[in-house]
Amino acid sequence: MSAPLLSLQDIHLRFGSQPLLDGAALAVGAGEKVCLVGRNGSGKSTLLKVAAGMIEADDGERIVQQGTTIRYLPQEPDLSGFKTVLDYVEAGLAPGDDAHRARTMIEALGISPDAAPAHLSGGETRRAALARALAPEPDILLLDEPTNHLDLPAIEWLESELRGMRSALVLISHDRRFLQNLSDATVWLDRGRTRRLDKGFGEFETWRDDILEREATEQHKLDRRILAETAWATAGIPARRKRNQGRLRALTAMRQTRRDARRVAGDAKMVVSEAELSGKLVIEAKNISKAFDGRTVVADLSLRIQRGDRLGIVGPNGAGKTTLIKLLTGQLEPDAGSIRLGANVEGVTLDQKREALDPATTLADALTHGHGERVVIAGVARHVVSYMKDFLFQPEQARTPVGVLSGGERGRVMLARALAKPANLLILDEPTNDLDLETLDLLQELLADHPGTVLLVSHDRDFLDRVVTSTLGFEGDGRWVEYAGGYSDMVSQRGKGVEAPEQSRTARPKAAEPRPASSAAPKRRLGFKETHALKTLPGRIEALQGEMAKLQKILDDPKLYARDPAGFARTAAALEEKRTALSTAEDEWLALELLREELEA
């Protein structure tokens, strides 16, 4: 194997009292595509800055082959000091680089080369920084969260562009699909040290779980040995202990090993503070339309959202996703048509804009809204420090200003605040930004189990596939169409993914063009979840009918009420609950069966 272009060996770096990097390593060969993964706060961005030469480690060695060109994409690019985007991107070119490629990359990413950096949005700033990193076609690209603030067309274009480049890559991203499609090696940064898997991200989680399971077994064995040796040391005859100083020294060493072990941070624990159940109908939109300054954002949309639905909303930036959410939740009045909200709907919105948090507010005050030291979760009052731990914060961070937290930590704060509010309708606008993969897993599980309703705006294809029951896709000219299943189901039904707006689509390189749809419109078919429901609902209905028969038999006892009034009330309530569940299951089965017959016809 040839020598790597870039090598980091035994890197140590300490911030405050705790080591952040404790013998970390990284090697990147020519053309290699490596993903760097780890918990928020584990030091991934710091290690990438060491690789870029922006931070000098306390100890260790950084070796770069002579002549190797490296470009680095930071999480928060700084475009100050440049008059135009083109000036900023061209400043990243080296002598001999193709000057025309700067303009090509800018236009491909949908930005005006003459735009003033001060007037760019967060997403446009990220695109400009990407253009600056990509334009020189360096030997190594170091990309820190390159998909943040990008819409789906831009993410899929970037994925295609990176796949076709000769450059080696080191990627940090929370976007599973992006990592799976690009990586051929995975480096896991955990407790200051790195482990390498010479396979792509798709194999990482199984490999990581095996390692953690082995570590837990070894830790358990060590704990048992310490317990046994401690019992010997305290119960043994003093003279025997004097003759066995070596054994005592071994016990001391084991205890030190146990103390020094930097355990993996605990799992996040997420609980939604549920409000009372809403009515069966949550939102009904009939032929709604909305336009701004002559541009139609929503055109003649009819939509029915019922309790338990998890609707994903996808489209390019500027399509009107936020406007649509405001229409559906009654914050905006439609120009035409009507919106009806069901009974007892209580919504809470997770705002993707981290600036909604006052940077000077402490972490504890952000979670309690400045009201004491307790927060009420699911009807139970808890100390704020206990709630912080559920989201992987340490007690000593309680008085830390929000402004000094990392992007991922601020994301967890926003989640914690949103989930603490009683709600049966969760409105999540890009909730995956800056969250690590483990926290994303738990958020997915929470949303999948949530008994209420979810409206989700996201550009994360994998997250959509795992969470939503249907996807509302932007079709252009204000038209929105609902598809059963997640993002991949939508693509299979319509024959293509989300497309860029017409004005910027023509500027994209051919490699990024979405694959053409077949000449005939793709035939609508039942998605996986619909097919599964059709198979399982009859069994569910039969089981509910059996449970209702047993409850009814109990209530048929004429002496039950006189003998046990509380038991009678509980049984009657349980019967009503089963009756409601049966009605819901029967309605769902009937709707799916009618749809199946229609499609087959």
Residue 381, token pair as written in the block: 């009052």
Average pLDDT over residues 521-550: 76
CA distance 63 to 65: 7
CA distance 535 to 18: 54
Angle of the 437-449 helix axis to the 407-419 helix axis, nearest 10: 20
Binned at pLDDT 50, 70 and 90, residue 257 comes out as low
Binned at pLDDT 50, 70 and 90, residue 474 comes out as very high
CA distances for 516 relative to 375, 490, 510, 564, angstroms: 52, 15, 12, 69
Binned at pLDDT 50, 70 and 90, residue 268 comes out as low
- DSSP for 30-70 reads TT-EEEEE--TTSSHHHHHHHHHTSS--SEEEEEE-TT--E
Q: Is the pLDDT of residue 265 over 60?
A: no
Question: What is the chain's percent helix, strand, coil content, to nearest 5?
Answer: 45, 20, 35
Q: What is the pLDDT of residue 240?
A: 45
What backbone torsions phi and psi does residue 25 show, to the nearest 5 degrees?
A: -140, 155
CA distance 423 to 451: 10
Binned at pLDDT 50, 70 and 90, residue 515 comes out as very low
Q: What is the pLDDT of residue 514?
A: 39
Nearest to 184 by CA among 28, 347, 340: 28
Average pLDDT over residues 44-66: 94
Measure the CA angle with vertex 82, ends 77 and 87; round to 5°: 95
Average pLDDT over residues 113-127: 88
Average pLDDT over residues 304-313: 91
Nearest to 32 by CA among 62, 7, 67: 7
Q: What is the pLDDT of residue 449?
A: 72
Q: What is the pLDDT of residue 564?
A: 87
**Residue 249 near residue 256 (C-beta atoms within 8 A):** no
Average pLDDT over residues 81-108: 92
pLDDT > 90: what percent of the chain? 35
Binned at pLDDT 50, 70 and 90, residue 283 comes out as very high
Using only C-alpha atoms, what is the Rg of the chain?
A: 28
Is 340 in a helix, a strand, or coil? strand
Question: Which of 169-178, 205-214, 591-600 has the highest mean predicted lDDT (pLDDT)?
Answer: 169-178
Q: Is the pLDDT of residue 139 over 70?
A: yes
Q: In whole numbers, what is the pLDDT of the chain averaged over residues?
A: 82
Average pLDDT over residues 174-184: 93
Enter the DSSP assignment of 362: B
Binned at pLDDT 50, 70 and 90, residue 536 comes out as confident
pLDDT > 70: what percent of the chain? 82
Q: What is the pLDDT of residue 509?
A: 44
Question: Which of 69-78, 353-362, 387-396, 418-427 has the highest mean predicted lDDT (pLDDT)?
Answer: 69-78
CA distance 160 to 512: 6
Average pLDDT over residues 147-152: 86
Q: 6-15 and 59-64 as β-strands: parallel, antiparallel, unpaired?
A: antiparallel
197: how many CB neighbours lie within 10 A of its CB?
19
Average pLDDT over residues 191-210: 92
> Residue 555: what residue type?
L
Q: What is the pLDDT of residues 284-304, one digit of tens each?
A: 999 999 998 888 999 999 999
Binned at pLDDT 50, 70 and 90, residue 394 comes out as confident
CA distances for 512 relative to 99, 152, 229, 336, 516, angstroms: 21, 12, 64, 37, 12
Q: Is the pLDDT of residue 8 over 60?
A: yes
Binned at pLDDT 50, 70 and 90, residue 229 comes out as low
Choose the weakest-confidence range: 134-138, 292-296, 433-437, 551-555: 433-437
Can you name the residues that pair with 455 across neighbouring β-strands? 311, 427
CA distance 586 to 580: 10
Q: Is the pLDDT of residue 171 over 90?
A: yes
What backbone torsions phi and psi does residue 241 show, to the nearest 5 degrees?
A: -65, -35
**Residue 417 near residue 367 (C-beta atoms within 8 A):** yes
**Which residues make Cβ contacts (< 8 Å) with residue 116, sequence separation at least 6?**
83, 84
Binned at pLDDT 50, 70 and 90, residue 253 comes out as low
Q: What is the pLDDT of residue 439?
A: 76
Q: What is the pLDDT of residue 517?
A: 39
Average pLDDT over residues 506-529: 47
**Which residues make Cβ contacts (< 8 Å) with residue 277, sequence separation at least 6?**
307, 344, 424, 451, 452
Residue 21, token pair as written in the block: 């990097």
Residue 209, token pair as written in the block: 């779980």
Binned at pLDDT 50, 70 and 90, residue 235 comes out as low
Average pLDDT over residues 116-125: 86
Q: Which residue has the higher pLDDT, 158 or 420?
A: 158
Domains and CATH numbers, the chain: 6-206 (3.40.50.300), 279-346+424-522 (3.40.50.300), 528-600 (1.10.287)
1: how many CB neighbours lie within 10 A of its CB?
5
Q: Which residue has the higher pLDDT, 451 or 513?
A: 451
Q: Is the pLDDT of residue 239 over 70?
A: no
H runs (alpha helix) in 135-272: 152-164, 176-182, 204-235, 238-243, 245-260
Q: Is the pLDDT of residue 242 over 50?
A: no
Q: 193-197 and 185-190 as β-strands: parallel, antiparallel, unpaired?
A: antiparallel
Tell me, yes or no, if the pTM score tops 0.75: no
Q: Is the pLDDT of residue 262 over 60?
A: no
Average pLDDT over residues 25-34: 96
Helix and strand element counts for the chain (H, E) = 20, 20
Average pLDDT over residues 427-443: 79
Residue 171, token pair as written in the block: 């990627």
CA distance 436 to 430: 14
**Residue 142 near residue 171 (C-beta atoms within 8 A):** no
**Residue 405 near residue 251 (C-beta atoms within 8 A):** no
